[in-house]
A and B are shown apart, each in its own frame.
Chain A
Amino acid sequence: MAFTDNCELYAAVSEDGVNAVARHIMQQRPSLFNYATAYIAAHPGLACAKVARTQDVDTYDNPLFSIEGPLPLLGVDAPPVGLNYSAQLVSAEIDFHPSNVFTLPSELNPPLPGQHLALRMRICVGLDCPAIDLIDGIQPWASSQHPVQPGPKSGQVGPSSIGAAGKGSPPIVPPTRKLMCFCLDAFAIGHVEVTELSGEPTLVGHVDTVDVVGVEPEGLHQAIDCYLRTTAELLLKEKLTFPVVKTFFVRSQLPDLAIGHGHARAQPAGAEQPGGPGQPVPGLRPNTGEFMSQIALAASAKAFGLMFQVVRDGLHLETSGNTSAGPFTAKWSVAVHLEDGRIRLTAEVTDLQVVWDPLDLTLCFDLPGVSVGGWCIIPDPFDGCWLSVPTIWIGGTICLDIDLSGLVSEITDLKANLVPKYYTDPARPPGVSDLTAEFLGHSNQWQVFLNPVWVSVDPIDVPATIESVIVNLLEDAIEAEFSWVPSWAWPYIWDRLGSLLDLFTSILGDIGDVAQSLESLLNNTIDLRGWLETALAHYLASKWPIIQFEDPHPILAGNPAHNPIPVKIPIRNLAAHINSAEMIVTADVGV
Chain B
Amino acid sequence: MTALAQPYLFSQIGLDSGALTILGGIVHKFPDPGQYRGVVIDPDGSTLVFRLTVDESPAVPMNIDLAAVAEGSAPSPCQCSADHGGQPHFVLGCRTPLLLHVAGGPGGYAVHVSPAAEEPQRPVFDSRRLDGGDLFAATILRPGRYTIVNTLDENGTTASMEVPIPTVGRSARRPPPAAQVVCGAGGFEPSEIRLSAMQGCVFACETPARIRIELEQPYDPPERPSPAATTRHLRRIANGQDREDGEPG
- Residues of chain A having any CB pair with chain B under 8 Å: 366-367, 369, 372-373, 375-379, 386-387, 389-390, 392-397, 468, 471-472, 475-476, 479, 481, 484-492, 494-502
Contacts and interface: CB of A to CB of B under 8 A. Distances in A.
Contact of B22 (A392, A475, A500): A392
Contacts of B101: 389-390
Given A396-B4, A488-B165, 9 more contacts: A366-B1, A377-B178, A387-B97, A387-B99, A395-B3, A475-B230, A489-B142, A495-B198, A499-B171
A481 B220 contact: no
A387 B97 CA distance: 8
Interface of B: 1-7, 9-11, 22-23, 25, 27, 61, 63, 65, 97, 99, 101, 103-104, 135, 137, 139, 141-143, 165-173, 175, 177-178, 197-200, 202, 218-221, 224-225, 227, 230-231, 234, 237-238
A396 B178 contact: no
Nearest to A500: B234
Contact of B175 (A375, A395, A485): A375
A488 B169 contact: no
A484 to B, nearest CB: 5
A225 B131 CA distance: 137
Contacts of B10: 485-486, 488-489
A366 B167 CA distance: 24
* Binding site secondary structure of chain B: loop
Given A372-B9, A389-B137, A499 B170 contact: yes
Given A387-B99, A389-B137, A397-B3, A498 B230 contact: no
A377 B219 CA distance: 26
14 contacts: A373-B139, A387-B27, A389-B137, A390-B101, A390-B103, A394-B6, A395-B3, A479-B227, A491-B166, A491-B221, A496-B172, A499-B237, A501-B234, A502-B171
Nearest to A476: B227
Contacts of A468: 231
A499 B9 CA distance: 23
A476 B226 CA distance: 9
Nearest to A393: B4
Contacts of A495: 166-169, 172-173, 197-198
Contacts of B143: 488
Nearest to B178: A375
B105 to A, nearest CB: 12
A467 to B, nearest CB: 9
Given A488-B143, A488-B220, A492-B141, A389 B197 contact: no
B124 to A, nearest CB: 20
Contacts of B1: 366-367, 369, 395-397
A497 B171 CA distance: 7
Nearest to B5: A484
Contacts of B139: 372-373, 375, 389
B137 to A, nearest CB: 5
A389 B5 contact: no
Q: Please indicate which of the listed interface residues B11, B142, B231 has the most CB atoms of chain A within 10 Å of its own CB.
A: B231
Contacts of B4: 393-396
B172 to A, nearest CB: 5
Contacts of B178: 375-377
Q: Please indicate which of the listed interface residues A396, A489, A497 has the most CB atoms of chain B within 10 Å of its own CB.
A: A489
B165 A491 contact: yes
A81 B32 CA distance: 144
Nearest to A487: B224
A490 B225 contact: yes
Nearest to A486: B10
A368 to B, nearest CB: 9
The 7 closest A-B pairs by CB, nearest first: A475-B227, A396-B3, A366-B1, A375-B200, A487-B224, A498-B171, A494-B168
A496 B2 CA distance: 18
Contacts of A486: 10-11
A492 B9 CA distance: 12
B9 A392 contact: yes
Nearest to A482: B5
Contacts of A386: 61, 97
Given A389-B200, A394-B4, A377 B99 contact: yes
A487 B25 CA distance: 26
A155 to B, nearest CB: 98
A222 B227 CA distance: 100
B234 A394 contact: no
A492 B197 contact: yes
Given A377-B99, A395-B4, A488-B143, A498 B9 contact: no
A481 B3 contact: yes
Contacts of A395: 1, 3-4
Contacts of B167: 491, 495
Contacts of A487: 220-221, 224
B183 to A, nearest CB: 15
Contacts of B168: 491, 494-495
